[in-house]
A and B are shown apart, each in its own frame.
Chain A
Amino acid sequence: MAKNISVTIKFWKQNGPKDKGHFDTHELKNIPDDTSFLEALDIMNEELIGEGREPFVFDHDCREGICGMCSLYINGTPHGKTERGATTCQLYMRKFKDGETITVEPWRSAGFPVIKDCMVDRNAFDKIMQAGGYTTVRTGQAQDANAILIPKEDADEAMDCASCIGCGACVAACKNGSAMLFVSSKVSQLALLPQGKVEAAKRAKAMVAKMDELGFGNCTNTRACEAVCPKCETISNIARLNREFICAKLAD
Chain B
Amino acid sequence: MLPYTIQNYLADQAIWPRLSTDLPEFEATEQAVEKEIDRLMNIKGKRSVDSIHKELGHIMWEHVGMGRTKEGLEEGLKLLKALRQEFDTNLFIPGSKEGLNVELDKAIHLRDFILMGELVAYDALHREESCGGHFREEHQTEEGEAKRDDENFFYVGCWDYQGSDDKAPELVKEPLNYEIIKVQQRNYKN
Please tell me if A46 contacts chain B, counting CB pairs below 8 Å.
yes
Is B187 positioned at the interface, with any CB of A under 8 Å from its CB?
Answer: no
Tell whether A151 is near chain B: CB-to-CB under 8 Å. no
| Candidates A46, A54, A55; contact of B51 at CB < 8 Å | A46
B95 touches A54 (CB 8 A): yes
Known contacts A46-B50, A46-B51; decide if A55 and B102 are in contact (CB<8 Å). yes
Is the C-beta of B19 less than 8 angstroms from some C-beta in chain A? Answer: no
Q: Which parts of B90-135 form the interface with A (CB within 8 Å)?
A: 92, 94-95, 99-100, 102-103
B residues near A115, Cβ cutoff 8 Å: 100
Chain B proximity mask over A23-55: 1 for CB below 8 Å, otherwise 0:
000000000000000000010011011101111
A57 to B48, CA, bound (A): 15
A115 to B101, CA, bound (A): 11
Q: Which residue of A lies closest to B46 (CB)?
A: A50
Contact of B94 among A53, A138, A140, A141 (CB under 8 A): A53
Nearest Cβ on chain A to B11's Cβ, whole angstroms? 4
Do most interface residues of chain A lie in helix, strand or loop, or is the interface mixed?
loop
Which of B2, B4, B94 is the one whose CB lies under 8 Å from A54?
Answer: B94
Interchain CB contact under 8 A, A49 and B4 = no
Q: With A139-B7, A139-B11 as given contacts, are A42 and B100 in contact (CB-CB < 8 Å)? A: no
Q: A119 to B100: give the CA distance in the assembly, Å.
A: 10
B177: CB under 8 A from chain A?
A: no
- For chain A, the count of residues having a C-beta within 8 Å of the partner chain is 20
Instruction: Convert A181-198 into 0s and 1s, putting 1 for each residue whose CB lies closer than 8 angstroms to a CB of B.
Output: 000000000000000000
Given contacts A57-B100, A57-B102, contact A46 B48 (CB under 8 A): yes
Residue of A nearest to B106 (CB): A55
- The reply on B8 being an interface residue by CB < 8 A is yes
Chain A nearest CB: distance from B51 CB in Å? 7
Residue A4 is within 8 A (CB to CB) of chain B in the complex: no
CA of A45 to CA of B50 in the docked complex: distance in angstroms?
A: 10
List the interface of chain A (C-beta within 8 A of B). Answer: 15-16, 42, 45-46, 48-50, 52-55, 57, 115-116, 119, 138-141
Q: What are 13 of the A-B contact pairs (CB < 8 Å)?
A: A45-B50, A46-B48, A48-B94, A49-B103, A50-B48, A55-B94, A57-B100, A116-B99, A138-B8, A139-B8, A140-B7, A141-B4, A141-B7
